Structure 1
Amino acid sequence: MPYALEHHYVQTNGIRLHVVQAGPTNGPLILLLHGFPEFWYGWNHQILPLAEAGFRVWVPDGRGYNLSDKPTNTAAYNLDELAADVVGLMDAAQTPKAIVVGHDWGAAVAWWVAATYPERVERLVTVNVPHPAAMKQFTRQQPRQMLRSWYIGFFQIPVLPEFFSRLGNWSALARTLQSSSRPGTFSADDLKLYRTAWSQPGAIRSMINWYRALARHPPRRRAQRRITVPTLLIWGAQDRFLMREMAQPSIDLCEQGRVVYFETATHWVQHEEAEAVTNLIISG
């Protein structure tokens, strides 16, 4: 049967998240977590196909993004809080477990949920972000990865990143999406929606605070180094930001893991190879 996108607000972990939902209410819950600088729309190609496959699909705007609450303190964006938001969504859905899928920052959060709340994760699917231990090792030891991650350092500067992001009707963020993806991946209509999301009061500061919290407020929750839940890592090999060499070491840290490469796709593989990524999420 055809499904429509439902827009809801859900209380979780002391804040209110805007959550797009679709699919049968009694279907297995699947959470799709977006990254920077996207919002729920980053999964627009997957939502309805997953719903039609029988899943109950919840796609939140991460805290600080678009229509979700935007705490003002940087510490509110540390990984422990972001993971607790995800677990709180499962509680709100009254389900003990969910399939957790994440891209970019959403993948970093998904890894952390699987490492700290493994009993709440049915399956883990991460897209173009490595296991946190692999990311830490490569960032410290590989000059090429350090160069690719230059923007993380830039985002630590107060005020300036927000100022540059707003210039020219968000031209830097729009240009980053377009220049790092295959031609035509993000249409003019897509970018109009992104600009509206970025323009929400307090959004750009909150979005950047995810990076600031990573450096200033490291997580404290005890995490398992080895991921015990079934794990699929999807990797667009033409990623401009993250080296593919981090993918296999990430899977080596998983008891039940595999990696699937898309050789001609970029960091934005769920947009560029939408149907194939959807099918992988369904099949695990």
Structure 2
Amino acid sequence: MDVAGVTFRRIALPDLGLHVAEAGPDSGVPTILLHGFPEFWYGWRHQIGPLAASGLRVVAPDQRGYGLSDKPDGLDAYHLDRLAGDVIALADSCGFPTVRLVGHDWGGLVAWWAASLYPERIERLAILNAPHPGIVGDYMRHHPGQWLRSTYVGLFQIPGLPERLLTADRCRVLRRALTTTSRPGAFAAADLDRYVAAWLQPGAMTGMLNWYRALVRLPRANPPRVRMPTLILWGRQDTALQAGLAEASLTLCDDGRIRWYDHASHWLAHEEPDAVNADLIDFLA
């Protein structure tokens, strides 16, 4: 895939293999980028080059269940503890004692959780439109509007049906979801073709949905605080996540701040790449 300066390899973790995109100097500060649903490493296509050019060593995996990475069976394989553990196992496999961690959407939930569970391994944390998992349940109880925005998660719990719905007609529902919830032009036709190819990998749609199916099993009481410097980038026009989730997440941070994007949606890294890249480079490098 023609993202300048990016190389690819498969990295064997103790219990599965991940396909990763890499860029930047070997001696650069290790920086892991975690995509969300329904993306894969390519969701960071606007960020990888500029971050690498700033001197960071960038590693962007297809997370488990996605793209060309392994897709283990069963919901237990997608428990948030396992997903956070993949971040640390990936750092270990790359020889990184510590990393700077960036996550968007589901990748943001994983990044929050890894930062809470493994604070000694995460130097800096940057989150794009993703709440800390520890605040979501309480927030939804007090903000029914967010509960209404999240009803699709209930649909995803049904075995088999969402897979058929989301893969029909070259994944028409997902393609439409990306284009109707983002600014016009954020996802070009050629980009959507690449997403479709990733979504139609054998087992991928079930793996992707299993993240949601496993989440309802997660006990989220009294999450550990986030100790490292934390930057939350949040597009206020997000149709799925209320901005209050960013503020609630900030209350768990010892050293955090929010940078609001008033005119960006959930897909701010695609809609405002130059500004997002500048904010990330300023914070990470």
Matches within 5 A, 1:170-249: 170-216=171-217, 218=218, 224-249=223-248
- Determine the structure 2 residue equivalent to 1:93: 94
CA distance in structure 2 between the aligned counterparts of 1:223 and 1:91, rounded to whole angstroms: 28
Q: State the secondary structure of the residue aligned to 2:157.
A: coil
Q: What is the identity, as a one-letter code, of the residue corresponding to 1:232?
A: L
The normalised TM-score by structure 1 is 0.96
Q: What is the identity, as a one-letter code, of the residue corresponding to 1:263?
A: D
CA distance in structure 1 between the aligned counterparts of 2:46 and 2:222, rounded to whole angstroms: 32
Q: State the secondary structure of the residue aligned to 1:102.
A: strand
* Percent identity (aligned): 49
CA distance in structure 2 between the aligned counterparts of 1:129 and 1:155, rounded to whole angstroms: 19
Residues 69-89 of structure 1 deviation map (CA, whole Å, 9 limit, x = unaligned) = 000111100101101100011
- Determine the structure 1 residue equivalent to 2:279: 280
Residues 1:258 and 2:264 are matched in the alignment: no
Once the two structures are TM-superposed, the CA of residue 140 in structure 1 deviates from its matched residue by 2.2
Q: State the secondary structure of the residue aligned to 1:259.
A: strand
Residues 93-150 of structure 1 deviation map (CA, whole Å, 9 limit, x = unaligned) = 1121100000000000000000100000010001101222332212222111001001
Q: State the secondary structure of the residue aligned to 1:24.
A: coil
Q: What is the identity, as a one-letter code, of the residue corresponding to 2:153?
A: I
Matches within 5 A, 1:77-226: 77-216=78-217, 218=218, 224-226=223-225
Q: State the secondary structure of the residue aligned to 1:280.
A: helix
CA distance in structure 2 between the aligned counterparts of 1:142 and 1:248, rounded to whole angstroms: 13
CA distance in structure 2 between the aligned counterparts of 1:13 and 1:279, rounded to whole angstroms: 35
Once the two structures are TM-superposed, the CA of residue 68 in structure 1 deviates from its matched residue by 0.1
Judged with a 3 Å threshold, the aligned counterparts in structure 2 of structure 1 residues 132 and 204 are, in CA distance, closer, same or farther, namely same
Once the two structures are TM-superposed, the CA of residue 215 in structure 1 deviates from its matched residue by 1.3
* Larger mean Cα displacement after TM superposition, 273-282 or 97-106: 273-282
Q: State the secondary structure of the residue aligned to 1:123.
A: strand
Is this contact kept in 1: 2:246–2:258, CA < 8 A? yes
Residues 179-200 of structure 1 deviation map (CA, whole Å, 9 limit, x = unaligned) = 0000111000000000000010
Q: What is the identity, as a one-letter code, of the residue corresponding to 1:237?
A: R
Q: What is the identity, as a one-letter code, of the residue corresponding to 2:110?
A: V
Q: State the secondary structure of the residue aligned to 2:120.
A: helix
The normalised TM-score by structure 2 is 0.95
Once the two structures are TM-superposed, the CA of residue 13 in structure 1 deviates from its matched residue by 3.7
- Determine the structure 1 residue equivalent to 2:63: 62
Residues 198-227 of structure 1 deviation map (CA, whole Å, 9 limit, x = unaligned) = 0100000000000001113x269x975321
Q: What is the identity, as a one-letter code, of the residue corresponding to 1:278?
A: N
Q: State the secondary structure of the residue aligned to 2:185.
A: coil
Is this contact kept in 1: 2:234–2:261, CA < 8 A? yes
CA distance in structure 2 between the aligned counterparts of 1:219 and 1:66, rounded to whole angstroms: 28
CA distance in structure 2 between the aligned counterparts of 1:28 and 1:219, rounded to whole angstroms: 33
Q: What is the identity, as a one-letter code, of the residue corresponding to 2:275?
A: A
- RMSD across aligned positions (CA): 1.5
Residues 1:47 and 2:52 are matched in the alignment: no
CA distance in structure 2 between the aligned counterparts of 1:143 and 1:274, rounded to whole angstroms: 32
Once the two structures are TM-superposed, the CA of residue 281 in structure 1 deviates from its matched residue by 1.2
Q: What is the identity, as a one-letter code, of the residue corresponding to 1:229?
A: M
CA distance in structure 1 between the aligned counterparts of 2:226 and 2:64, rounded to whole angstroms: 25
CA distance in structure 2 between the aligned counterparts of 1:142 and 1:253, rounded to whole angstroms: 18
Once the two structures are TM-superposed, the CA of residue 3 in structure 1 deviates from its matched residue by 6.3
Q: State the secondary structure of the residue aligned to 2:193.
A: helix
- Determine the structure 2 residue equivalent to 1:33: 34
Segments of 5+ residues of structure 2 without an aligned counterpart are none
CA distance in structure 1 between the aligned counterparts of 2:244 and 2:5, rounded to whole angstroms: 39
List 4+ stretches of structure 1 deviating above 6 A: none
CA distance in structure 1 between the aligned counterparts of 2:197 and 2:254, rounded to whole angstroms: 41
CA distance in structure 2 between the aligned counterparts of 1:90 and 1:225, rounded to whole angstroms: 21
Is this contact kept in 2: 1:29–1:57, CA < 8 A? yes
Is this contact kept in 2: 1:112–1:223, CA < 8 A? no
CA distance in structure 2 between the aligned counterparts of 1:133 and 1:202, rounded to whole angstroms: 29
Q: State the secondary structure of the residue aligned to 1:162.
A: helix
